[in-house]
Amino acid sequence: MMRTKGLALYPGSFDPFTLGHLDILERACRLFEHVEVTIARNSEKTGFFTTDERKALIEASAGHLQNMSVHIFEGLLAHHAAQRKAVALIRGLRQVSDFDYETRMAFANRRLAPEVETVFLTPSEEQALTSASLVREIHRHGGDISSFVPAPVHDAIMRR
Ligand code: PNS
């Protein structure tokens, strides 16, 4: 299959990296020549894993993908994308409730870096409800998260 030339960034908090994230990443890797998972260090979200732990867990979970790498960025995503000369920003869109937040971010990023296109991908139906916050909540109340996260993430969460 012909992949779009150039670099796509897949930005997020990934706290933790879920099977939904992996699903989107696999789709992005089929579409683009290279995909960089970019973890925001200064995310306002509450930390579950450190950014370095998240990076290691994504690498362990997505090792089967040849054309991707994992990086940590600080500051504005648009600046990082322009600096990396990325052609696209990948974001997962699950249902209409994601739409407001995602379009707001896409418009802001476009104004700051007009040459970078935001590309929305939809996960498989099985992962349509998966989110990192849902995983954190289920785990907090002692529920089984094994159907929501890759095995390395599950193991790391159970070790804590
Ligand atoms: O997985 P998330 O938490 O939905 O990802 C959000 C993320 C990290 C992509 C977004 O908060 C971000 O880009 N943060 C970096 C700072 C930035 O550029 N903010 C303005 C976005 S319009």
124-149 average pLDDT score:
96
pLDDT tens column, 47-58: 799 999 999 999
Please answer whether residues 57 and 96 qualify as being in contact, where contact means their C-beta atoms are separated by less than 8 angstroms: no
Residue located nearest, by CA, to atom 17 of ligand 1: 76
- Residue ranges per domain, the chain? 4-159
pLDDT value at 1 more than 80: no
DSSP 56-85: HHHHHHSTT-TTEEEEEE-S-HHHHHHHTT
Cα(80) to centroid of ligand 1, in Å? Answer: 11
Q: Is 109 in the pocket of ligand 1 (CB under 6 A)?
A: yes
| Confidence category of residue 153, pLDDT binned at 50, 70, 90 | very high
- Six-digit token string for 24: 């989107």
Q: Which residue has the higher pLDDT, 10 or 160?
A: 10
In CATH terms, the superfamily for domain 4-159 is HUPs (3.40.50.620)
Is the distance from CB of 72 to CB of 36 less than 8 angstroms?
Answer: no
Where helices occur in 5-131 by DSSP H, the ranges are: 19-31, 51-61, 77-83, 99-112
Residue with tokens 């969460």: 157
| Six token digits for residue 1 | 């299959």
